């Protein structure tokens, strides 16, 4: 048996933001058990932790695979540690397999701030391919790599309205050799907006994608000439993120709301 928490991340109200499951463990079971739990939860991400001397090992699974980096499930995990598991310090270190050490700080007004690696945006030559897959004209196209074999396309569109009204062709997106596709534009009432699609990883549209903002925030910081930015992910549920780009790191801030607590069975 193990405890399980479901948390809405990057929101200040229930049924907003991005839901994530958090499963604290004492030791690692077989990877197939972790994948089966994530599939059973059928959320965009399930986070698993195991304590180490000065923090926690952290892994993330979609319903179909393990991923290199996940923002909203990290935020949800820190929330669980601070709010339910009595973690006493004001900062937590999470040790990950492919994204190094991630720290999360507890700040005032129930805000949590995560220190993530900034992901460089590299100009892509696949504009025609993405134009056909998305069915819209692109202002620009970039790739951002989270690991040697895991990357997103970042398609810059003309306006917030175009991002909000976009209707994805999921079969075409899932056929692309990438983790997912970010569409983004300058915001009308914030610095930039985005949406994220990863049907090949079992996520048709992710409500709020922290990891994508490790690519988005440095890009828009350069475009707008500022290192502190307000971002919105304009999915159906929606989410709000504060972003600070500093010395090769991207700080993402947000809040979490509890939805569920319980127990699960890990195997026979």
Just list the catalytic residues: 45
34-38, long-range: CB < 8 A, 24+ apart: 34/59, 34/61, 34/66, 35/61, 35/65, 35/66, 37/61, 37/264, 37/266, 38/62, 38/63
d(CA 91, CA 100): 16
Residues 207 and 195 sit within 8 Å (Cβ to Cβ)? no
* Cβ 122 vs Cβ 215: under 8 Å: no
Beta bridge partners of residue 53, listed in sequence order: none
Cβ partners under 8 Å of residue 164, min gap 6: 193, 234
């Amino acid at each position: 048996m193990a405890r399980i928490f479901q948390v809405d991340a990057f929101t200040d109200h229930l049924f907003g933001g991005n839901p994530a499951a958090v499963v604290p463990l004492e030791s690692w079971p077989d990877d197939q058990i972790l994948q089966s739990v994530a599939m059973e939860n059928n959320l965009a991400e399930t986070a698993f932790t195991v304590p180490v001397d000065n923090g926690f090992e952290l892994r993330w699974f979609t319903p179909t695979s393990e991923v290199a980096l996940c923002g909203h499930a990290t935020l949800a995990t820190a929330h669980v540690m601070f709010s339910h598991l009595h973690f006493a310090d004001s900062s937590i270190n999470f040790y990950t397999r492919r994204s190094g050490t991630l720290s999360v700080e507890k700040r005032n007004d129930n805000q949590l701030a995560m220190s993530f690696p900034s992901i460089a945006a590299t100009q892509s030559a696949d504009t025609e391919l993405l134009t056909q897959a998305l069915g819209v004209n692109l202002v620009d196209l970039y790739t951002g790599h989270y690991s040697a074999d895991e990357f997103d396309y970042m398609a810059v569109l003309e306006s917030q309205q175009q991002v909000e009204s976009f209707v994805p062709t999921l079969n075409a997106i899932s056929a692309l050799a990438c983790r997912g596709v970010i569409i983004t534009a300058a915001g009308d009432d914030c610095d930039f907006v985005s949406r994220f699609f990863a049907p090949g990883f079992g996520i048709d549209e992710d409500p709020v994608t922290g990891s994508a903002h490790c690519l988005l925030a440095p890009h828009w910081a350069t475009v707008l000439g500022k290192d502190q930015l307000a971002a919105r992910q304009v999915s159906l549920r929606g989410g709000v993120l504060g972003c600070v780009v500093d010395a090769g790191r991207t700080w993402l801030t947000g809040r979490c709301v509890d939805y569920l607590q319980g127990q699960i069975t890990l195997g026979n």
